[in-house]
Amino acid sequence: MPSKFATLLVMKRLVLLGGGHSQVEVLRQWVMHPQPDTALTVVSRDLLAPYSGMLPGFIAGHYRYEDCHIDVRPLVKAAGARVCQSEIAGLDLDNGKIICPDRPDVPFDVLSINTGSRPDMEGIPGVKEYALAVKPVDIFIQGWERILAEALSSEGTYRLLIVGTGAGGVELALTMRYRLTSEAKALGQDPARFHLSVITRSDEILTTHNRSVQRRVLRALEHAAIKVHYRETVVSVEPTHLTVEEGKRHDFDALIWVTQASAPEWVKASGLATDDRGFILVNDGLQSVSHPNVFAAGDVATMESTPHPKSGVYAVRQGPYLAENLRHHLRNEPLTPFTPQTRFLSLMCLGPEEAVASKGPFAAQGRLMWAWKDYIDQKFMRKYEMGMSPMSNDDVGMSEMYCGGCGSKVGQDVLSRALSNITPYPAEGVVRGLDHPDDAAVITYPPGSQVVHTVDHFKAFVDDPYLLGQVTAHHCLSDLYAMGATPHNALASVTLPHGPEIMQEDILSDLLAGANLVLRAENTALVGGHTTEGEELVFGLTVNGYAAPEDILSKTGIQPGDALILTKPLGTGVLFAADMRKKAQAPWIAQAIASMLRSNRDAAHAFRDADAHAVTDITGFGLAGHLREMLAGSQYGAEIELDAIPLLDGALACSEAAIRSSLFPQNLNAECVIANRNTVPPHKAYPLLFDPQTSGGLLASVPGDTAEAVAKAVGGWIIGRVSDDPNLSGKFNLRQ
């Protein structure tokens, strides 16, 4: 039976670049009115889109992280879109491709850009190195949390300097002061030791607002003991001070940069028509004036007929027009003009739950204004909480139309086009591989070696198939490394979600490109595989390798006096569980992904060279479960130092918030081998012993005399020792 989509003429690829305030609306509209003849892809550096209106409230402590971030992922899923989590490095407009630094090019027929702006940091030596820019917001939040901790743990005067006195700058100064003061009071510290100042090159603050608003905010700054330095243009920044034009110097412990918006370099280099500051010039339909298949909205765009200030309000207002005009363009219909309002309402947080309202000549202030702001912002956020389903009648009963068995195989053309983009590693001994496709792969292994096989697969736990391909490859290879084997070839097993051919092809290309990138780096040939269609994306690899019999490592064989070395921090399970609940901060996930993308090859070689008595890799059963396997049947046991166990950033915070991965309850079965589980004092890292890991590290039992050097060589941690205490045989004790 043909796939529903095979009968449709699938012609176009629409790519949304950036998940800003306008583009989340495009996604929302797409969920309600999908275009069946268009494959949708989202390229963005983050999938938790910060809502800048609530950022000052978050800094003040009025909102939690998840309150002020729109989770783009459920929208993307409901819209049936593909995700490429990446930053754009360049645009090839002639060939319709987005060039990314870390992944294959992303092709488009129609492109919609909503990547925002960043504060202008050009031409001032030292500013990029020593100042914390307010955007990207995820990096800013991470930096702010570091500054907050540093300030509260410092002694004596702590100087916080903020450059820029637009709405963003003054709101941040006021909310940072409020937060520092409330946290300091809670700790019994004197908040007066925090010295805050703002710097502006102008002779007034809030230059685009009326006098009454300026006066009110000035009063708030004065009341918060925030000093304003006027007519000072920063010319250079050093690690602990900056210098302004007349040579005057300001010392700081932390420097925040909130100056006017600047355009990204890649726009200027792309050939798109821009205004004189480098922002994309668009017509009233939000369409590039030079390239009709490119649309842009929000800070990154300038409307040729009616330029307006860079402000989230416009990005939000443009959202529905952008969605509508993309649809019109795809159907060759005339565009609907967007007319920006000349005056718009701004509501600025003053630190406590109090705000100043500003619109044209109007000004008002107080707790009521905060309540108003809070109402507007929460209403906006609620719009993007998922719970919508596509409205298209075409979709009724879609699932009944798909075949199973061989009928669910993905079309040959899709497969061959996806495969044509990759070059497998040319491993010696591949007699029949993808370069000479046959019914099966044929391999010759080195004489005298033993062949080692492993298989694993995952439902997509990251949204980007290219990333999923890479992590899966590392995870699967890790089993062979833990055995002391050399990987040689791999077979891919793919379940693609039902959808248009063009979309399946893009997803498959990304998956295979990601997996092949890692397999090539690990000298492993991709020699074949199988693709099928299903409800959701699933990817797995069978990896085959070989080893001389004497080189094979085992998970059993620990010896008394051995040290136990772990090569990667724990926490991927809890972090991705938190991520699904929108509770994980973007830098935590970025660090977890970086850890999952680290190969275990070098560590395995080092353990083999160090005559490790036992090696295993830490995956689904968690540290306790895999340690249990290592100890099983042994007459020896282990002493584990809880404080020595390395954890990924955020893992403890998520665990303390009682977030658990779905495998956690089963993994708790390993508690039965914790000899002192009833007497060991509670420890905050304890639940993480049972946290399932994806592409986790190796755990090795290494002779004690060389363990320090081996741990250093593999970048690992000694987390405990093997013990010959007969009471511990097959079990372990926890120490702290």
Ligand X SMILES: Cc1cc2nc3c(=O)[nH]c(=O)nc-3n(C[C@H](O)[C@H](O)[C@H](O)COP(=O)(O)OP(=O)(O)OC[C@H]3O[C@@H](n4cnc5c(N)ncnc54)[C@H](O)[C@@H]3O)c2cc1C
Number of H helices, E strands in the chain: 20, 37
* Distance in Å, CB of 156 to ligand X, minimum: 28
State which H helix or E strand residue 25 sits in.
helix 21-32
CA–chain centroid gap for 91, Å, is 22
Distance CA 456, CA 473 (A): 9
In angstroms, rounded to a whole number, what is the distance separating the alpha carbons of residues 715 and 565? Answer: 10
Which one, 311 or 661, has the nearer CB to ligand X?
311
* φ and ψ at residue 510, rounded to 5 degrees: -65, -45
CB of 320 to ligand X, least distance (A): 13
**Residue 84 known to be catalytic:** no
Are 670 and 625 in contact, with CB atoms under 8 Å apart? yes
Query: Least distance to ligand X from the beta carbon of 183, Å?
Result: 19
- Closest approach of Cβ 242 to ligand X, in Å? 20
Q: Which of 453, 451, 454 is nearest to 619 (CA)?
A: 454
Which entry of 406, 476, 654, 672 is annotated as an active-site residue?
406
For ligand X, the closer CB: 312 or 540? 312
Buried b (16+ CB within 10 A) or exposed e, 320-338: bbbbbbbbebbeeeebeeb
What span, in angstroms and rounded, lies between the C-alpha atoms of 675 and 606? 31
Judge whether 77 and 51 are in contact, CB under 8 Å. no
Q: Do the beta carbons of residue 29 and residue 288 sit within 8 Å?
A: no
Find the shortest distance in angstroms from Cβ 187 to ligand X. Answer: 26
Q: Which of 223, 695, 143, 152 is nearest to 474 (CA)?
A: 695
Q: Where are the alpha helices (DSSP H) in 191-241?
A: 211-223
φ, ψ (nearest 5 deg) of residue 670 = -70, -10
The binding site for ligand X (CB under 6 A) comprises: 17-22, 43-46, 49, 52-53, 55-56, 87-88, 114-116, 134, 136, 167-168, 171-172, 258, 264, 298-300, 310-313, 315
Residue in 135, 96, 97, 104 with CA at minimum distance from that of residue 117: 135
**Closest to ligand X by CB, 106 or 645:** 106
Provide, rounded to whole angstroms, the least separation between the CB of residue 199 and ligand X: 16
- Rounded Cα distance, 23 and 115, in Å: 9
- Phi then psi for residue 270, to 5 deg, are -80, -25
DSSP 494-514: EEEES--HHHHHHHHHHHHHH
R_g (Cα) of the chain, nearest Å: 28
To the nearest whole angstrom, how small is the minimum distance from the Cβ of residue 47 to ligand X? 8
List the one residue out of 617, 609, 610 whose CA is nearest residue 704.
Answer: 610
Minimum distance, C-beta of residue 207 to ligand X, in the bound complex (Å): 15
Q: Which residues are catalytic?
A: 406
